[in-house]
Amino acid sequence: MENLKRLFSYFFVRGLLLFLTVVVAIYLIIIIANMGGYMDKIKESEIMEQVYNTVRGNPALQRLSPSELKAILDKQIEIAKRQAGLDKPFFPWRSLEYLARGITLNFGRAEQMTSDSGSNQVRLILVERLPHTLLLWGVADLLVFFVSVFLALALSRRYGSLVDRLSVALAPVSTPPIWFYGILLILLFASALRVLPYGGFVDAPPPPTTLGYALSVAKHMVLPVLSVFIALIFSSLYSWRTFFLIYSSEDYVEMAKAKGLSSRAIERRYILRPTLPPIVTSFSMMMISLWMGGIVTETVFAWPGLGRLLYDAIQHVDTPVIVGSNVIYGYLLAITVLLLDFAYAALDPRVRLGGTRRS
Amino acid sequence: MGFKGVLAELRYHPSAVIGLVIISLLLVMSIYAVIKIPYSEAVRLWRAGEVVWLENPRNAAPKWYNWFGAGLPETIKIETSRAEKAEEALGEGTRRVTYRLSFDFLYKRFPQELAIFFTPTYSKTPPQVVLSWRTPDGREIPLGTRTLRGEERYVLSGDSNLLRRLGRAPEESLFADPANPAQALRGRYELVLEVYTFEPGADLSAKLIVYGRVYGWAGTDHLRRDLSIGLLWGAPVAVAFGFTAAVGIALIQFILSGIGTWFGGVMDIFIDRLTELRMILPLLPILILVGMLWSRSIWVILATLLMFGCLGGQKNYRAMFLQAREAPYIEAAKAYGAGNFRIVFRYLLPRLIPVLIPGFVLAIPDYVFLEASLAVLGIGDPILPTWGKIINDAYSMGAQFKGLYYWLLEPAGLLMITGLGFAMIGFTLDRIFNPRLRSL
């Protein structure tokens, strides 16, 4: 009971701290995305110009004296500004208002961008792009993750063999980012060989049958997935191999070997089990990174995902979309970090929360 | 292990030797670029627009394409000052000067463009010129008459009258082999200029440029710029940016982690919070925002990166410091009464520097590629040439569709080699400095 209470208070404090961190992060993003309030000044001058034009264009107001006209203009501008919510200063009021809306996931309407179905709700725009990003990065990251973990486990058992040394020597291949290999693969397979598309999500016009559609999407996914694979596999392999090597030189593994256990049993029970927490961490961090998508990679491949959306939003200076995308990312990250703490406590018997005595 | 010891150790790792060679070459290239083309000159050449490069062909491949039998024509320039000249007075102050600009054209492919640069000198009545073209097989094609009031660049390829009269792009029809119109006729061509001047002292000099399809060792881009300048200057920019960012950020985070763990308490909690804040803030979107909204200058981006680095330390540095804090020699320092800052900066940080070095060498290419990533998104530096900017130019101008592979592959290759060089050294250093890996 005492333990449970301590556990609960630990996670409460930890959750609170993480939440505060997310709030600060969101506030920073809001300030940067609004250029510290400068965006409001731009909007203000746009509103003023609009009002001037409508008032000047109104024949009924043409005969008024300049001072009367000015009074009308001022009033109209006042109303328009209040409508747009610009009557309060950015610091601190409007920025805090944005913050409150961001924290409560109330992103409102985009300023310029729309979803393909024509809505300007930020939520709908994000939801529409999400499946594309999940599909591409889910497939690519899972492929890299599982291939590298299992290959690394195998390599760590064959330490010093030719394959092992080769995989270590190839680790620097992972230095260039994904988009870099993307461009090279596009040059090779799309420009020179003309066997795969340059980019995009599906053929235009999209094939009518479901199977045709799926095949077309798969064809468009080959190059992006391949570039993710090439760019990440070797460094991933290298770090997992080192990791497993360190764990497989532990005394208890030697002990298990001495007992004459099969290498499969050793791998499963004595290497994978204690290394599970870091594996889970890396896996969940990878899953969160799905949210941002690869901004550059999706842009290079014209893939209509969240990364591309974020890039477009920044280009249009569409603040609500930028903030919305980042807020969700921050929340996902914070929640995952918290859940990982739980997972660690559950998976690793050595990690026990603050000062629990083992008898 | 001292610096010399590390160097000696590196010799036994072939990949590190290759990496060192690559980085030395890169440094030589950077120094050469900065000395050969001073900063202001590089910026002028790269950013002044097409005017600087009028005599270069557009999107020309590098010269070494021809070593592999591409058979692409080179650019030919002939000036009247060096040409065969015949002068004749026609009375009443009128003179006729005939120049024969002849050149050998020995390629099957057509040239890319044809242009004549005229520079007239006169006070009242401008000179006139009658142009005609002679092919190797003796045909003569009149190209019309021009009056030259000022300096002029007459682009034959862009003259719609000429195109209509010849029925085909001038740079093709003037060179086409009558027997096989898809190929150029090889041999000696001649452009005849009959210059009429109407005043004493009036003159006209001209230069014919037969634009080829190859240029220099690197080729040219859509603005006729010599890519070699951008590629050369990309090296110092990349090295300076990557090195400053990597060293700066690593040091800042290292010191912050050290201070946090040493002082503990509120300081540690504060720095640890900052670290978590940095983990939640997405770096690339913030850099894109800064680039879009404030400034695209590479130095502003660098400053933003460094500021970002100031947000907290590194979780793994922290773990190492926590261990090192308990070491007996720290105990000894405390015992003889060393101050907090003396302990942190004289004993704690230097002890862990070796751990820092592999990570920082490995981080250099990451920042080089980060700059390239921003450039590929169109947020490259507006003044300096960088490799990423060249890739961006090529990609946005459709080099991948037009088959202008050199344009993409040259900067990409340099980036790749740079990245590999640093990574090879970094991975080897990791093995040397990380004793746990070494014993394996």
* pLDDT digits 0-9 by tens, B1-51: 566 777 787 888 888 899 999 999 999 999 999 999 998 888 888 888 778
Q: What is the pLDDT of residues A208-259, one digit of tens each?
A: 999 999 999 999 999 999 999 999 999 889 888 888 888 887 888 888 888 8
**Number of Cβ pairs < 8 A linking chain A and chain B:** 123
The set of residues, in sequence order, having a beta carbon less than 8 Å from that of B412 and lying 6+ positions away, is A180, A183, A184, B387, B391
Residue A352 has pLDDT above 80, yes or no: no
Closest CA relative to residue B13, chosen from A149, A332, A168, A325: A168
Phi, then psi, of B162 in degrees rounded to 5: -65, -40
Q: What is the pLDDT of residues B398-431, one digit of tens each?
A: 888 888 999 999 999 999 999 999 999 988 888 7
Residue B231 has pLDDT above 90, yes or no: yes
Residue A300 to chain B, least CA–CA distance (Å): 8
Identify the pLDDT of residue B21.
Answer: 94
Residue A103 has pLDDT above 80, yes or no: yes
Identify the pLDDT of residue B440.
Answer: 42
The set of residues, in sequence order, having a beta carbon less than 8 Å from that of B161 and lying 6+ positions away, is B144
Q: By the CB < 8 Å criterion, does A35 face chain B?
A: yes
Mean pLDDT, rounded, of chain B: 87
DSSP 8-class letter at A86: -
Phi, then psi, of B127 in degrees rounded to 5: -70, 160
Q: What is the pLDDT of residues B337-347, one digit of tens each?
A: 888 888 888 88
Q: Looking at residues A55-77, what average pLDDT do you find?
A: 78
Partner-chain residue, chosen from A33, A177, A198, that has the shortest CB–CB distance to B373: A177
Phi, then psi, of A168 in degrees rounded to 5: -70, -45
What is the distance in angstroms between the CA of the first residue and the CA of the last residue of chain B?
A: 19
Rg of chain B taking only CA atoms, in angstroms: 32
Partner-chain residue, chosen from B290, B412, B437, that has the shortest CB–CB distance to A180: B412
The verdict on a CB contact (< 8 Å) between B282 and A292 is yes
Partner-chain residue, chosen from A17, A169, A177, that has the shortest CB–CB distance to B15: A169
Mean pLDDT, rounded, of chain A: 83
Closest CA relative to residue B32, chosen from B232, B237, B241, B239: B232
The verdict on a CB contact (< 8 Å) between B293 and A175 is no
The verdict on a CB contact (< 8 Å) between A191 and B401 is yes
Strands B128-134 and B140-147: antiparallel
Residue A18 to chain B, least CA–CA distance (Å): 8
What burial letters (b/e) apply to A57-92, b meaning 16+ CB within 10 Å?
A: eeeeeeeeeeeeeeeebeebbeebbeeeebeeebee
Q: By the CB < 8 Å criterion, does A263 face chain B?
A: no
Q: What is the pLDDT of residues A112-154, one digit of tens each?
A: 888 878 888 888 888 888 899 989 998 998 999 999 998 998 8
Burial of B105 (0-12, 13-18, 19+ CB in 10 A): buried
Partner-chain residue, chosen from A171, A238, A311, that has the shortest CB–CB distance to B377: A311
Spatial separation of the C-alpha atoms in residues B257 and A79, rounded to whole Å: 52
- Using a CB-CB cut-off of 8 Å, the residues of chain B touching A186 are 400
Residue B102 to chain A, least CA–CA distance (Å): 39
Q: By the CB < 8 Å criterion, does A333 face chain B?
A: yes
Residue B437 has pLDDT above 60, yes or no: no
| Confidence band, pLDDT 50/70/90 cuts, at residue A97 | confident
Partner-chain residue, chosen from B415, B420, B440, that has the shortest CB–CB distance to A249: B440
Cβ atoms of B184 and B136 closer than 8 Å: no
Closest CA relative to residue B180, chosen from B251, B108, B126: B108
Partner-chain residue, chosen from B277, B369, B408, that has the shortest CB–CB distance to A25: B277
Nearest CA in chain B to A297: B373
Interface test with B, best of A155, A175, A344 (most B CBs within 10 A): A175
| CB contact residues (below 8 A), chain A span 281-300, against chain B | 292, 295-296, 299-300
Nearest CA in chain A to B295: A35
| Dihedral angle over CA of B56, B58, B64, B67, nearest 10 | -110
Q: By the CB < 8 Å criterion, does A359 face chain B?
A: no
Q: Please state the pTM of the whole predicted model.
A: 0.86
Identify the pLDDT of residue A359.
Answer: 35
- Using a CB-CB cut-off of 8 Å, the residues of chain A touching B273 are 17, 21
| Confidence band, pLDDT 50/70/90 cuts, at residue A354 | very low
Identify the pLDDT of residue B1.
Answer: 55
Residue B290 to chain A, least CA–CA distance (Å): 7
Q: Looking at residues B289-312, what average pLDDT do you find?
A: 88
For helices B405-433 and B387-396, angle between their N-to-C axes, nearest 10 degrees:
140
For helices B349-374 and A178-185, angle between their N-to-C axes, nearest 10 degrees:
40
Residue A307 has pLDDT above 60, yes or no: yes
Identify the pLDDT of residue B159.
Answer: 86
Q: What is the pLDDT of residues B88-117, one digit of tens each?
A: 888 888 889 999 999 999 998 899 999 999
User: Under the phi-then-psi rule, with left for phi > 0, alpha for psi from -120 to 50, and beta for the rest, what region is B134?
Assistant: beta
Closest CA relative to residue B393, chosen from B416, B414, B410: B410
The verdict on a CB contact (< 8 Å) between A25 and B286 is no
- Using a CB-CB cut-off of 8 Å, the residues of chain A touching B282 are 292, 326, 329
Identify the pLDDT of residue B418.
Answer: 94
Out of A50-64, A231-245, A295-309, least confident range: A50-64
Identify the pLDDT of residue A118.
Answer: 80
Identify the pLDDT of residue A358.
Answer: 40
CB count in 10 Å sphere of residue A195: 10
Residue A55 has pLDDT above 80, yes or no: no
Cβ atoms of B120 and B113 closer than 8 Å: no
| Confidence band, pLDDT 50/70/90 cuts, at residue A350 | low
The verdict on a CB contact (< 8 Å) between B369 and A180 is yes
The verdict on a CB contact (< 8 Å) between A295 and B285 is yes
